[in-house]
Amino acid sequence: MRSGPDHFTLGAWKCVCDRCGFDFKNNQLRKEWTGFRVCSGPGTNDCWEPRHPQDHVKGKRDRQAPPWVRPDSDGTDVSPGSGNEVSPEDL
């Protein structure tokens, strides 16, 4: 049996690989994830490539905020000798 793009096969037609530009029958082409129709299988240049698995990886959210913070002071000086010391009765 003859093979190649120039022989007659019922229900098949001649088409061109989008990657290598050679002529093949329509059943020798596959649609790639890029949208191209490329040759695949025996008797072809096997231009078909699967999509890389890293194309499907989702990004992970990176939280930049610290888990807890202290509020800003109101500016009151509570150091010893300032007259605003905290006593045990204040607690």
Task: Tell whether 46 is covered by a domain.
Answer: yes
Other Cβ atoms less than 10 A from the Cβ of 32: the count is 17
What's the 3-state SS for 41-75?
Answer: CCCCCCCCCCCCHHHHCCCCCCCCCCCCCCCCCCC
Give the count of domains, the chain. 1
Q: What is the mean pLDDT of each run of 10 residues along the chain (91 residues)?
A: 69 92 92 94 91 93 87 75 76 74
| Report field, pTM of the whole predicted structure over 0.75 | no
Task: Tell whether 27 is covered by a domain.
Answer: yes
pLDDT of residue 1: 44
Task: Tell whether 41 is covered by a domain.
Answer: yes
The boundaries of the domain holding residue 44 are 14-51
Task: Tell whether 36 is covered by a domain.
Answer: yes
Task: Tell whether 31 is covered by a domain.
Answer: yes
Rounded Cα–Cα distance for residues 40 and 32 (Å): 10
Task: Tell whether 33 is covered by a domain.
Answer: yes
pLDDT of residue 2: 54
Task: Tell whether 63 is covered by a domain.
Answer: no
pLDDT of residue 4: 64
Task: Tell whether 75 is covered by a domain.
Answer: no
